[in-house]
Amino acid sequence: MANVVVVGAQWGDEGKGKIVDWLSERADVIARFQGGHNAGHTLVIDGKVYKLHALPSGVVRGGKLSVIGNGVVLDPWHLIKEIETIRAQGVEITPENLMIAENTPLILPLHGELDRAREEAASAGTKIGTTGRGIGPCYEDKVGRRAIRVADLADKATLEARVDRALQHHNPLRKGLGIEEVDRAGLIELLAEIAKEILPYAAPVWKVLNEKRKAGKRILFEGAQGSLLDIDFGTYPYVTSSNVIAGQAATGVGIGPGSIDYVLGIVKAYTTRVGEGPFPTELLDDDGERLGTRGHEFGTTTGRKRRCGWFDAALVRQTCAISGINGISLTKLDVLDGFETLKICVAYDLDGQRLDYLPTAADEQARCTPIYEEMPGWQESTEGARSWADLPANAIKYVKRVEELIECPVALLSTSPERDDTILVTDPFAD
Ligand code: GDP
Ligand code: IMO
Ligand code: MG
């Protein structure tokens, strides 16, 4: 049985949530393997809108197991609120269909405070534009071996020792930033309270998933963010604090890399980015405004306006290679309806030299200007198209050109936010 990894192949918000929800019909288990509630995934099912941040996007479908893997950083207070919100929309969430890895690090209130204090203290040009949700500081604590993990909630003495270890680091740091010291007793009490709500979901996820795999169950690994926000391969330091590329799926849940049969990259038919950092094809003109308006490009998590630009094939070719993407899901094709001419970045000009990838050095990235190829647009509507036959000839040409330039085939096409406005070309779960 095939297991599929879904990753964003640009700067996030490619439409991963919609596609994971759509694909989850074919899966038994849906497992988030990194990121936290910095993610915002919007699902639209028969007109009903679900906004997910920490919960896997398969949770809305009944009869599936949803898993939060150890590669995630988890804000337990946020999760409980999100569960309540989604339950109020009629979705059943119980320890039978949601499991949280016991070795998942917890985002504490102090992480969010540190994240926001650093952003506020940063001068213009050095801000990252984070979501302010404590993601970076929590991953720092994980790697610094001072995180509090889900399993620590079960034993009072361990929990207290873990809190002391964390505060030994955080209190001096807070002093330097002018934030008051953490109230140790208050934090322990808060954790002891939330423990009662979180622990019923805690499980040895690595074991459960290995057993599922042996039993021939299909696993869908759900990534958050996008490859250009990857801590190693993204536009550093304007990135998130985790590995988001497909290689992370295995370590993020505790399963061997050989269990992954297919990597599906989610790719928007143009480019967006929220937060600071380089964006070679960014449009600050009417075309950019039009993409943002037609695509409703406002962040699901922070409500910030997303920056918009033309499709960057050079970047997507690069991220397809880094994640070993077997096929892409091209989303939001309908947003391009009505443009006279479309531009695609095929390479960069760096000091007069043609470069077919984005260089790593920040100064070189800044000097890269896109080399564009122009294509005729289409005036017909593709919104809601459910088969190739419904697409205008120029839209098909655009999709075909994207495939050639990124050197990767299109497996799925998405033409509206609705679950079923999706065209299947190749089934990623096919053996
Ligand atoms: P994610 O973070 O990758 O899950 O993406 P988001 O949910 O943050 O942003 C994608 C937005 O585009 C959501 O509001 C989706 O409902 C919407 N969307 C997804 N696919 C399509 C599509 O094919 N066409 C249009 N117009 N909207 C889409
Ligand atoms: P989904 O899963 C788009 C961006 C932030 C900021 C940078 C670091 O919805 O695609 P962080 O809070 O992670 O430390 O912020 O990363 N960012 C995202 N941008 N989509 C996301 O998730 C993002 N998650 C983080 O805007 O630039
Ligand atoms: Mg999003």
Q: How many domains does the chain have?
A: 3
- 361 shares a domain with 296: yes
Q: Choose the residue to mutate in 7, 37, 38 for probing ligand 2, maximizing ligand atoms within 8 Å of C-beta.
A: 38
Instruction: Find out whether 320 and 256 touch, Cβ atoms under 8 Å.
Output: no
The CATH number for 114's domain is 1.10.300.10
- 300 shares a domain with 407: yes
- Any atom of ligand 1 within 6 Å of the Cβ of 415: yes
Report pTM.
0.98
Evaluated on CA atoms 349, 13, 34, 124, the torsion sign reads: positive
What is the per-residue pLDDT for 2?
A: 87
Evaluated on CA atoms 359, 333, 239, 177, the torsion sign reads: positive
In a domain, 430, yes or no: no
Whats the size of the chain, residue-wise?
431
Identify the helix (H) or strand (E) that includes residue 374.
strand 369-376
How far is ligand 2, taken at its centre, from the CA of residue 291, in Å?
20
Pairing of strands 29-32, 219-222: parallel
In a domain, 404, yes or no: yes
| Total Cβ atoms within 10 A of residue 207 | 10
- 381 shares a domain with 242: no
How far is ligand 1, taken at its centre, from the CA of residue 296, in Å?
9
Closest CA to 151 of 78, 203, 88, 110: 203
Tokens of 67: 């898993």
Name the residues annotated as catalytic: 13, 41, 142
The position carrying tokens 């050639």 is 404
CA 354 to mean position of chain CA atoms: 31
- 62 shares a domain with 146: no
| For the CA of 278, the nearest ligand | 2
What is the per-residue pLDDT for 172?
A: 97
Q: Which of 198, 213, 234 is the last residue of a domain?
A: 198
Q: What is the largest CA-CA distance in the chain?
A: 67
Give the domain extent around 408.
267-424
pLDDT in tens, the chain (431 residues): 589 999 999 999 999 999 999 999 999 999 999 999 999 999 999 999 999 999 999 999 989 999 999 999 999 999 999 999 999 999 999 999 999 999 999 999 999 999 999 999 998 889 999 999 999 999 999 999 999 999 999 999 999 999 999 999 999 999 999 999 999 999 999 999 999 999 999 999 999 999 999 999 999 999 999 999 999 999 999 999 999 999 999 999 999 999 999 999 999 999 999 999 999 999 999 999 999 999 999 988 888 999 999 999 999 999 999 999 999 999 999 999 999 999 999 999 999 999 999 999 999 999 999 999 999 999 999 999 999 999 999 999 999 999 999 999 999 999 999 999 999 999 999 97
The CATH number for 16's domain is 3.40.440.10
CA distance 352 to 347: 12
Q: Which DSSP state fits 357?
A: S
- 206 shares a domain with 188: no
Atom of ligand 2 nearest to the CA of 276: 27
Q: Which of 244, 262, 280 is the last residue of a domain?
A: 262
Q: Choose the residue to mutate in 78, 115, 225 for probing ligand 2, maximizing ligand atoms within 8 Å of C-beta.
A: 225
- 229 shares a domain with 363: no
Q: Which DSSP state fits 129?
A: -
The CATH number for 279's domain is 3.90.170.10
- Any atom of ligand 1 within 6 Å of the Cβ of 223: no
In a domain, 409, yes or no: yes
Q: Choose the residue to mutate in 228, 268, 291, 332 for probing ligand 1, maximizing ligand atoms within 8 Å of C-beta.
A: 332
- 57 shares a domain with 38: yes
Atom of ligand 1 nearest to the CA of 331: 23
In a domain, 429, yes or no: no
What is the per-residue pLDDT for 303?
A: 87
- 193 shares a domain with 248: no
CA distance 238 to 358: 15
- Any atom of ligand 2 within 6 Å of the Cβ of 382: no
In a domain, 417, yes or no: yes
Atom of ligand 1 nearest to the CA of 299: 8
In a domain, 60, yes or no: yes
In a domain, 431, yes or no: no
Instruction: Find out whether 259 and 245 touch, Cβ atoms under 8 Å.
Output: no
Q: Which of 176, 198, 220 is the last residue of a domain?
A: 198
How far is ligand 1, taken at its centre, from the CA of residue 42, in Å?
6
What is the per-residue pLDDT for 204?
A: 98
